[in-house]
């Protein structure tokens, strides 16, 4: 069982609000990721980080931003939420499993923007 | 671009039968593959992985087969149980520097186990 946490689990918010989705891991992993997933669909990488003060955009363009000030914490922020941001957001971190890096996922945050 | 895809969006099996979920990948440079299980309302959970220098790997009730010739990956679940009902994703180690690679996920197959 991976020690990676996301809060809130569910969020309903109005258009134009600023929101921050929290993600924390206690495994000491350097690499962390944010994915966006619509119901029944594939995961799309939107942000990743290789370590403190390192962040890069993923394959799917996103209006969200991230920061990595501490190893264990990788929050995602939307400055002005819109209905098009409604989705599930999954955080992951990667560490060594055997001789290979493997990603471990948090439970996700389901976001609904009205 | 490079992609990982699945053949069947939904697979329905009887409890006790064996299940086979398939995945095709297009990046011949991929050297590491993972199967994840995602239950409703939860994040993906690691099931089993395989490196490209292997063609078969077994876990508890699960087996992953890798055919690099046709770039095909499959997950076999023995004696499928109701608790196996979920969406299954294959993922590959994407292109890029070894220390910087992120996974590329397929679109997922929903497994429905009928009692």
| Candidates B32, B91, B107; nearest CB to A100 | B32
List, for residues A81-95, the tens digit of each pLDDT value.
Answer: 999 999 999 999 987
Whether residue A17 has pLDDT greater than 50: yes
Write the residue in A41, A102, A108 that is nearest to B43 by C-beta: A108
Would residue A108 be called left, alpha or beta, if left means φ above 0 and alpha means ψ between -120 and 50 degrees?
left
pLDDT for the residue A43 = 86
**Chain A interface mutation, best of B11, B32, B38, B44, highest count of A Cβ atoms under 10 Å:** B44
Buried b (16+ CB within 10 A) or exposed e, A30-53: ebbbbbbbeeeebbbbbbbbbeee
pLDDT at A95: 73
- Can you spell out the DSSP letters for A8-68? -SEEEE-TT--EEEEEEESS--SEEEEEEE-TTS-EEEEEEEEETTEEEE-SS--S-EE--
Torsion of CA B51, B55, B60, B62, to 10 degrees: 110
Three-state DSSP at B86 gives: strand
Look at residue B91 and tell me whether its pLDDT is greater than 50.
yes
Tell me the pLDDT tens digit for each residue of B9-65: 889 999 999 999 999 988 888 888 999 999 988 899 999 999 999 999 999 999 999
| Average per-residue pLDDT for chain B | 86
- Residues B89, A42: C-beta atoms closer than 8 Å: yes
Does A97 touch chain B if contact means CB atoms closer than 8 Å? yes
Alpha-carbon dihedral sign for residues A113, A76, B27, A99: negative
- Cα–Cα distance for residue pair A43/A87, rounded to 1 Å: 11
The DSSP secondary structure of A85-113, one letter per residue, reads G-EEEEEEEEEEETTEEEEEE---EEEEE
The helix/strand/coil state of B98 is: helix
pLDDT(A78) > 90: yes
Q: How large a percentage of chain A has pLDDT more than 70? A: 93
- pLDDT score recorded for residue B1: 37
pLDDT over 90 (residue B6): no
Tell me: pLDDT of A55 over 70: yes
CA distance A56 to B97: 14
Chain B: give the shortest CA distance to residue A105, in Å: 6
Cβ contacts from A onto B, under 8 A: 53
- The answer, for B3 touching chain A at a CB cutoff of 8 Å, is no
Confirm or reject contact between B115 and chain A (CB < 8 A). no
- pLDDT of B109 reads 92
C-alpha–C-alpha distance, residues B14 and B82, integer Å: 9
| Confidence label for B3 from pLDDT (cuts 50, 70 and 90) | very low
**pLDDT mean across residues, chain A:** 90
């Amino acid at each position: 069982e991976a020690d990676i946490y996301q809060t809130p689990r569910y969020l309903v918010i109005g258009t134009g609000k600023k929101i921050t989705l929290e993600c924390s891991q206690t495994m000491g992993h350097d690499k962390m990721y944010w994915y966006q997933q619509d119901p029944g669909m594939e995961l799309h990488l939107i942000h990743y980080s290789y370590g403190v003060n390192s962040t890069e955009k993923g394959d799917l363009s996103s209006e969200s931003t991230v920061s990595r000030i501490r190893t264990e914490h990788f929050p995602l922020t939307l400055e002005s939420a819109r209905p098009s941001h409604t989705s599930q957001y999954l955080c992951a971190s990667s560490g060594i499993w055997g001789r290979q890096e493997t990603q471990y996922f948090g439970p996700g945050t389901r976001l609904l923007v009205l | 671009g490079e992609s990982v895809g699945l053949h069947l969006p939904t697979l329905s099996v009887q409890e006790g039968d064996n299940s086979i979920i398939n995945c095709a990948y297009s990046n011949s440079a991929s050297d590491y593959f993972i199967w994840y299980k995602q239950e409703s309302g939860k994040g993906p959970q690691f099931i089993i992985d395989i490196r490209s220098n292997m063609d078969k790997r077994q876990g508890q009730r699960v087996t992953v087969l890798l055919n690099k010739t046709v770039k095909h990956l499959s997950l076999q679940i023995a004696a499928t149980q109701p608790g196996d009902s979920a969406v299954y994703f294959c993922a590959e180690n994407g292109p890029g520097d070894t220390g910087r690679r992120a996974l590329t996920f397929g679109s997922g197959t929903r497994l429905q186990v009928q009692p």
